[in-house]
Chains A and B, each alone.
Chain A
Amino acid sequence: MRNILAVAGKELRSYFHSPIAYLVMAVYSVLCGFFFYSFTATYVVQTFRMQAMGGMGMPSMTINDYVIRPLFEGVLAIVLLLLIPLITMRLYAEEKRSGTIELLLTSPITDLQIILGKFLGALLLYGTMIVITFGYLGVLFIYGNPFAKPLIAQAVGLFLFGGALLALGMWISTFTKNQIIAAVVSFAVFLLFYVLNWVTAYSSGAVSRVLAYLSLTTHFDAFSKGVVDLKDLVYYLSVIVLGIFLTARSVEALKGRV
């Protein structure tokens, strides 16, 4: 555990020594802030309209459904497409480029400890980043009265979703010395997983059902509605475990054992 924390601490320090952490958090705050403002403003305008019409026969509009849920789904896209590759690109690529991988792999710590340390470091940065979302949401609690409980599910979902991508991004980072390549490949893979559920729109066979199941977005639906479903939980946790396992295999291959 001490070793894992030492590596995690080193990763976090590197993030904050370089512009990456600040860049990622700044980009996130701005985009997330714009999403939040747009959804809130739309909501406010629409509720006024509804009230003017007397709201007859219309379902009541809740903040949860019209602000918070779209916000989480929008955040997903930014986090997914842009920021996670920026967080994971350096994890192994930079160690390989600078030769410090030799230090890590010849130290009396296991590969798994190094991997978990790196994953934890990246996860902590990611966690810090998504806390910003809840800062925005806090505003809603001051001026409105949304339900708080769904937020827990949404937070858990966002965290797991990010964790899954971080694990995969870390794996991709083991293949290259070049951070840019790691980032671009991660971006492409994440995008593919993001849109994999589109197949259900034009096909309904077993293959498309499997592809839709594999899509990262499918499993976020329930979370974004405020429901923690065991099968989604299992899905994200398995992707995290898979990512860590693949990273371990890839590091093993670096030593020429395969």
Chain B
Amino acid sequence: MIEVENLTKRYGPTLAVSGVSFQVQKGEVLGFLGPNGAGKTTTMRIITGFLSASSGRVRVAGFDVAEAPLEAKKRVGYLPENPPVYTDMTVNEYLAFVGRIKGVARTELKKRIAEVSEKCAVADVQNRQIGKLSKGYRQRVGLAQAMIHNPEVLILDEPTAGLDPKQIIETRELIKGLAGQHTVILSTHILPEVSKTCQRVVVINKGTVVAMGAPDELTARLQGYGTVLVTAEGPAPEITSKLQTVPGVTLVEQRESSGPRITLEVHTEKNHDVRAELARAVVQSGWGLFELKTSGMSLEDIFLKLTTRDLGEEAAAQKELPAGGGEAKAEN
């Protein structure tokens, strides 16, 4: 449904997006993950036709956004980071205006406004001026606006920003409900949002794609080992050495200790569940077992790993740079 090929965007000398490629299948919800300033918004703006790419191409439902912008735009609903609302209009006036410029037929306009107002829970403020609404309502008016022409594709830039926890949950449910009939790209830097709403994730950092896949798949790929956290009461060195003898365990590290109670991080071989043996080892030695849990790598860990690894590489590159510059000078 959406094909992004080798997308690059330069702002003068700075490279905002560099060689980004990905595809989104029909009916899929894709999460666009990255720290602030990674190029998420720029990529989304190019897909929606608000910005033009420096190179590369984007196709929406088979239409190239640069060559057939109107056809592509007809099929896209877009919620920018700041909801693009006219504060001097009422919700109904605003939705009617957006409906008109998005090409909703005059006869259907009223029905569509009622439908999206209902879906986005803004029906109760339909005659209020948007400027007087709370941030949460404005955000949802923005969402209603994006859906008014029933587009095949929805591009949502941080759709839950500014909402309260209850509204966040409702909005996530709403987005999840869109899957199947609509193709959705949503950007966020809030990680649980991705694992809760998206079937696939694209992690972007410094303008390039650093990872792509289903949330579970990403976790599995990056996790070289399993980790089990064991909390027990007893002498720390003895417990540590005892657990090290359990088959499948590669490394035991002490995480923290409070009084006689210690927490150990047990690294195991991949796909090797050692929890039963660990429990047995602790209990049979007469120590008290308080807690035993696997600690899979969370999306947060992956995210940090992916984005900070890049930073590390860059720092290394920068260290090399002065040397290179010195050489250049020497040549001169």
Contact = CB atoms under 8 A, between A and B. Distances in A.
Interface of A: 2-3, 6-7, 9-10, 13-14, 17-18, 98-110, 255-257
A6 B101 contact: yes
Given A256-B9, A256-B11, A14 B88 contact: yes
A153 B288 CA distance: 102
B100 A2 contact: yes
Nearest to B90: A17
B102 interface: yes
B102 A107 contact: yes
A2 B93 CA distance: 16
A222 B52 CA distance: 46
Nearest to B102: A107
B52 A257 contact: yes
Contacts of B51: 255-256
Interface string B200-234: 00000000000000000000000000000000000
Contacts of A7: 101
A14 B86 contact: yes
Interface in B59-83: 70-71, 73-74, 76, 78, 80-83
19 contacts: A2-B100, A6-B100, A13-B89, A14-B86, A14-B88, A17-B88, A18-B88, A98-B86, A99-B81, A100-B85, A102-B48, A102-B80, A102-B84, A103-B84, A103-B98, A105-B50, A106-B49, A255-B50, A256-B54
Residue among B50, B74, B82, B89 with the highest chain A CB neighbour number at 10 A: B50
Nearest to A5: B100
- Chain B contact patch, size range: 20 to 34
Contacts, number: 75
Contacts of A18: 88
A109 B101 contact: yes
Interface string B263-287: 0000000000000000000000000
A18 B89 CA distance: 11
Contacts of B76: 106
A10 B80 CA distance: 20
A157 B103 CA distance: 37
Nearest to B66: A257
Contacts of A107: 73, 98, 101-102
A108 B74 contact: yes
B101 to A, nearest CB: 5
